[in-house]
């Protein structure tokens, strides 16, 4: 009886733990969106990339760094050398020390990395209520279902459900683990005025900046797709050659001929 009682207690504890885990992971799953770069024939929408770059530059860059992205990478987005130099010149980066050994700054050049918004992590935390804004260079690769997660997070701000307490300085976002996020909703109507005239709704801006971040994380994605297609074509031709060769050899074997005899 004591054994049965212990088993019952253990099962009750497991059930309670399962319920707790279920409750703690009850956040919404990311929305499934359609992306131009998905699939073996996927390609980046260059117009969306450029709009996404504009959103990052005018909104996201005030808090989030992009430490693996250089201005010269904008070439892949369709920008010319003069435009890239102009973009870079808007920012200052650390220069060579002067003759007295003091630090200097200079205008950024195309080969420079996009400058971080804060001098260090402590400065970033101090400016964001103790939270450290993540670098966005690989954010879509660092999260499960990355592109859908980033899009859902950016568009997922809403009023907290009744009875749900949200800490001061936090916002409710059902797509964020735990539901409470330190970043306030960054995208709203009028955040950006698109240079190409596209209406900048929060949903449009979220999709565009996610497309841009996918390029930053996977700049060779299209080339990989093209290489994969070429490999499939090559393997298909090679398979056909092997098939025809084997068919000819076996035809001679079945006919009783010696395939190795001199002719």
Helices (H), 27-79: 46-58
73's tokens: 């990478």
Q: What is the pLDDT of residue 15?
A: 41
Q: Average pLDDT, stretch 1-14?
A: 40
Residues 6+ apart with CB under 8 A from 131: 125, 182, 183
Distance (Å, whole) CA 55 – CA 147: 16
**Mean per-residue pLDDT over the chain, rounded:** 83
Q: What is the pLDDT of residue 244?
A: 67
Q: Could you report the per-residue pLDDT of 106-142, keeping only the tens digit for each?
A: 999 999 999 999 999 999 999 998 999 999 999 999 9
Q: What is the pLDDT of residue 26?
A: 35
Q: Could you report the per-residue pLDDT of 60-101, keeping only the tens digit for each?
A: 999 999 999 999 999 999 999 999 999 999 999 999 988 888
Distance (Å, whole) CA 114 – CA 225: 27
Say which residue, 39 or 110, is predicted with more confidence: 110
Q: What is the pLDDT of residue 229?
A: 55
CB atoms within 10 A of CB 234: 10
Ramachandran category for residue 169: left, alpha or beta (phi over 0 → left; psi -120 to 50 → alpha): left
CA dihedral 160, 161, 165, 171 (to 10 degrees): -10
Q: Could you report the per-residue pLDDT of 21-35, keeping only the tens digit for each?
A: 333 443 789 999 999
| Residue 234 pLDDT class (50, 70, 90 cuts) | low
Cβ–Cβ < 8 Å for 205, 190: no
């Amino acid at each position: 009886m004591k054994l049965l009682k212990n088993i019952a207690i253990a099962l009750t504890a497991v059930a309670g733990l399962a319920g707790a885990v279920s409750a703690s992971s009850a956040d919404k799953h990311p929305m499934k969106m359609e992306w131009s770069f998905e699939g073996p024939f996927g390609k980046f929408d260059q117009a969306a990339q450029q709009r996404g770059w504009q959103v990052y530059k005018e909104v996201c860059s005030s808090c989030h760094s992009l430490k693996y992205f250089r201005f010269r990478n904008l070439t892949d987005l369709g920008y010319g050398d003069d435009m890239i130099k102009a973009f870079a010149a808007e920012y200052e980066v650390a220069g060579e020390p002067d003759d007295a050994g003091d630090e200097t700054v200079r205008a950024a050049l195309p080969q420079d990395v996009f400058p971080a918004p804060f001098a260090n992590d402590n400065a970033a935390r101090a400016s964001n209520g103790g939270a450290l804004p993540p670098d966005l260079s690989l954010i879509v690769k660092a999260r499960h279902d990355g592109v859908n997660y980033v899009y859902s997070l950016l568009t997922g701000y809403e009023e907290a459900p009744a009875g749900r307490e949200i800490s001061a300085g936090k916002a409710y976002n059902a797509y964020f683990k735990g539901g409470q996020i330190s970043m306030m909703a960054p995208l709203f109507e009028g955040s950006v005025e698109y240079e190409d005239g596209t209406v900048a709704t929060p949903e449009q801006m979220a999709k565009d900046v996610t497309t841009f971040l996918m390029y930053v994380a996977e700049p060779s994605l299209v080339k990989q797709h093209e290489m994969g297609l070429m490999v499939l074509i090559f393997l298909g031709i090679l398979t056909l050659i092997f098939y025809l060769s084997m068919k000819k050899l076996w035809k001679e074997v079945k006919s009783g001929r010696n395939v190795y005899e001199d002719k």
